A and B are shown apart, each in its own frame.
Chain A
Amino acid sequence: MKAWLLLSVVVGATVVSDLLQSFEMKRQGEVHTASSFLASVFQKKLLILSIFCMAISFFSFMALVQIADLSFAVPASAASVVLETILASVILKERVDRRRWMGVACVACGVYLLAL
Chain B
Amino acid sequence: MNPDLRWKTRAFAAYVIVSNSLGNLFLALGMRSSAEVSSPLSFVAAIFNPWVMLGIALLISWMLSRMAMFSWADLTYVLPVTAFGYVVSAMLGWAFLAETVTPVRWAGTLLIVAGTVLVGLGDPHAENTSR
Digit string of A82-97 for contact with B (CB within 8 Å is 1, else 0)? 0011001100111111
In the complex, which residues 43-79 of chain B have their Cβ closer than 8 Å to any Cβ of chain A?
Answer: 43, 46, 52, 59, 63, 67-68, 70-72, 74-79
User: Given contacts A26-B70, A75-B87, are A96 and B76 in contact (CB under 8 A)?
Assistant: yes
Could you tell me how many residues of chain B have their Cβ less than 8 Å away from some Cβ of chain A?
62
Could you tell me how many residues of chain A have their Cβ less than 8 Å away from some Cβ of chain B?
59
Q: Is the CB of A100 within 8 A of B122?
A: yes
User: Given contacts A88-B74, A107-B80, A110-B108, are A99 and B119 in contact (CB under 8 A)?
Assistant: yes
Residues on B lying within 8 angstroms of A by beta carbon are 24-25, 27-28, 31-32, 34, 36-37, 43, 46, 52, 59, 63, 67-68, 70-72, 74-80, 83, 85-87, 89-94, 97, 99-101, 104-105, 107-119, 121-122, 126-130
What are the 5 closest A-B residue pairs judged by CB atoms, nearest first? A106-B115, A113-B108, A110-B111, A70-B93, A103-B118
